[in-house]
Amino acid sequence: MDLRKAIRTIPDYPKAGIQFRDITTLLTDARAFRRAVDELVQPFAGLKIDKVAGIEARGFILGGAVAHQLSAGFVPLRKKGKLPHQTRSVEYALEYGSDALEVHLDAVVEGERVMLVDDLIATGGTALAAVDLLRQGGAEVLAAAFVIDLPDLGGAGRLRASGVPVSTLVAFEGD
């Protein structure tokens, strides 16, 4: 099965010139969804991962399924102000401005082995912020897995340079 065919491309969204890679079509296709989760898990199945951290919002869907397959706990990494208990936060730069991710203070503890999951890696800013947030809590980030890589934007390389092994399932060049 070619997972690329299960991903819809929406031109000029959210602004002109952007080719938005929409995984909702992959999620609604039971075979493609199962295949994607299996492929996200496979490279890391023997690492004894304690928790899977998923980045809001598609990372929740994928990360929850990956955590289930790995018999690991799940940690939601959310946008600022969305978590109900005490949180740790990290700000990161966007193309225009900044944003922040938060995690509950008790979501990870010193020495826990964590895998990061999201749908797509582009420039890597959000993923690097997520790694920083998890490391601040004492976690060892063993791996990061994404369905889609936009290699021309360099995010996977930046994440690898920070010491996190990266796995991606499909790449869309030139985006």
Kindly calculate the radius of gyration of the chain based on its CA atoms and give it in whole angstroms.
15
Displacement of CA 58 from its chain's centroid (Å) = 8
Which residue matches tokens 């690898």? 160
- Run of H or E residues at 33: helix 30-41
List the beta strands (DSSP E) in the chain.
Answer: 8-11, 19-22, 51-55, 73-79, 87-94, 97-104, 113-121, 140-149, 166-171
Burial 1-16 (b: 16+ CB within 10 A, else e): eebeebbeeeeeeeee
58 carries an active-site annotation: yes
* Residue 121 to residue 3: CA distance in whole angstroms: 16
- Beta-carbon contacts of 27 under 8 Å, excluding residues fewer than 6 positions away, are 33, 61
113 carries an active-site annotation: no
Of 35, 78, 95, 113, catalytic? 95
Of 4, 31, 58, 173, catalytic? 58
Catalytic residues: 58, 95
